């Protein structure tokens, strides 16, 4: 799975109130990976803004699925 896809899923689950441990279990990854990715996401948000980071992740994650539906 690509890094941005993991970031998008982590951001979504964290926004829904899941703990790092719960996210790790759901995504079948190490909790340390979740912690590191959240730290990197926070850094990006501080530099680029939440809207930019969120929009980029949503576009990469969902637009290909939407395009597939309309083919």
For 20-53, the pLDDT digits (tens) are 999 999 999 999 999 999 999 999 999 999 899 9
The whole-model pTM stands at 0.80
Residue 18's pLDDT band (boundaries 50, 70, 90)?
very high
Residue 62's pLDDT band (boundaries 50, 70, 90)?
confident
Q: How far is CA 7 from each of CA 38, 46, 67, 71, rounded to the nearest angstrom?
A: 8, 16, 21, 27
Q: In whole angstroms, what is the distance from residue 39 CA to residue 59 CA?
A: 21
Characterize 10-19 residue by residue with b for buried, 16 or more Cβ atoms within 10 angstroms of its Cβ, and e for exposed. bbebbeeebe
């Amino acid at each position: 799975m690509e890094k941005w896809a993991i970031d998008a899923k982590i951001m979504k689950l964290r926004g829904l109130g899941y703990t790092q441990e719960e996210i790790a279990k759901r995504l079948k990854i190490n909790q340390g990976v979740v912690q590191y990715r959240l730290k990197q996401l926070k850094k990006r948000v501080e530099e680029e803004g939440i809207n930019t980071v969120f929009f980029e992740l949503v576009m990469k994650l969902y637009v290909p699925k939407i395009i597939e539906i309309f083919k």
